[in-house]
Amino acid sequence: MDQAEWKLLKEIADLEKTPQGAYNIRRNGQLDSRNNTANIEITTKEEPGKSGIDITVKPGTKGQSVHIPVIISQTGLSEMVYNDFFIGEDCDIDIVAGCGIHNTGCETSQHDGVHTFHIGKNSKVRYVERHYGDGEGTGKRIMNPQTVVYLEEGASLNMESTQIRGVDSTKRETRIVVGKGAEAVITEKLLTHGQQTAESDMEIILDGEDATGRVISRSVAQDDSVQVFYPKMTGNTKCFGHVQCDSIIMGTAKISSIPAIVANHVDAQLIHEAAIGRIAGDQILKLMTLGLTEQEAEEKILDGFLQ
């Protein structure tokens, strides 16, 4: 891999060298490298017409990680990938995914992916997915991720999805079904600029008794970019769900936040909050009195907001 490709890996998976543990690195539509462990097996899909991998984690696996980054440095490449995760019972693992596109040409480079998780009883999964794009070419960088999760009794998912810069267009679809006593916590961070567009369609279905769901979405829209959010929390039994969407709007950008809560049971407790606003002038002035320029003050505030 060249320097630009290693930069992509650093941005999306915090990798500066080959990772420890189980990993699968996909590069320009092909397998670049892979490693399995005694408890985690990664295999290439054999289903006709479907490119991707199956990741199987043995029951009781704890303290291990899986890295499955995708990088594209070839202009004009478009791919659709299907990755399926089968997490056994009583596991405690970290999964790091994400896609980086370096486009120096004039054609569109695009990665679409479907990640489906089956998380076993009482297992804990921390899932980090980062999207990033760069390159001086005029070709677009497009990513359309889909995430589907099934949480069995007592299982938990802590998912962090981040897209900070360089992606011209993205449509993110997320659907999570939460079983009895299980918990899903989703943190979404997004920054768009220029003419970029981003759409997030998310549904958390609290299907089992005492299921819990939390969505925390923070976004910044700059310049002429456009963002649309559709977070939905559905409670089918005794459960608790909370949706919080906070956005900062700048320049001539546009943001739509359309949260929805649906209670199908008398003991479903659901809350949603949404706020869109600009950076307060007194915040900028306060930082400028400490020696920062107006631009530096704005960047400092945005960095803190998206932490």
pLDDT of res. 80: 96
216, 171, 232, 175: which is closest to 198 by C-alpha? 171
In three-state secondary structure terms, 102 is: strand
Q: Dump pLDDT digits (tens) for 118-150.
A: 999 999 999 999 999 999 999 999 999 999 999
Q: 51-57 and 40-44 as β-strands: parallel, antiparallel, unpaired?
A: antiparallel
Please give the DSSP secondary-structure letter assigned to residue 92. E
Provide, rounded to the nearest whole percent, the portion of the chain with pLDDT above 70.
Answer: 100
Q: Dump pLDDT digits (tens) for 146-190.
A: 999 999 999 999 999 999 789 999 999 999 999 999 999 999 999
Would the pLDDT of 286 be above 90?
A: no
**Would you list the DSSP string of the chain?**
--HHHHHHHHHHH--SSPPSSEEEEEETTEEEEEE--SSEEEEE--STT-EEEEEEE-TT-EEEEEE--EEE-STT-EEEEEEEEEE-TT-EEEEEEEEEEE--SSS-EEEEEEEEEEE-TT-EEEEEEEEEEE-SSSS-EEEEEEEEEEE-TT-EEEEEEEE-S--SEEEEEEEEEE-TT-EEEEEEEEEE-TT-EEEEEEEEEE-STTEEEEEEEEEEE-TT-EEEEEEEEEE-SSEEEEEEEEEEE-TT-EEEE--EEEE-STTEEEEEEEEEEPPPHHHHHHHHTTT--HHHHHHHHHHHHT-
- Tell which wins on pLDDT, 286 or 152: 152
pLDDT of res. 305: 86
Distance CA 269, CA 212 (A): 10
Quick check: 29 and 79 in contact, CB under 8 A?
Answer: yes
Q: Dump pLDDT digits (tens) for 200-238.
A: 999 999 999 999 999 999 999 999 999 999 999 999 999
Quick check: 82 and 38 in contact, CB under 8 A?
Answer: no
pLDDT of res. 280: 81
pLDDT of res. 164: 78
- Tell which wins on pLDDT, 232 or 298: 232
pLDDT of res. 3: 86
Angle at 8 between CA 6 and CA 13, to 5 degrees: 95
| Average pLDDT value over all residues in the chain | 94
b/e per residue 216-225 (b: at least 16 CB within 10 A): bbbbbbbeeb
> In which residue are the tokens 């949404």 written?
274
pLDDT of res. 200: 95
Q: Dump pLDDT digits (tens) for 24-47.
A: 999 999 999 999 999 999 999 988
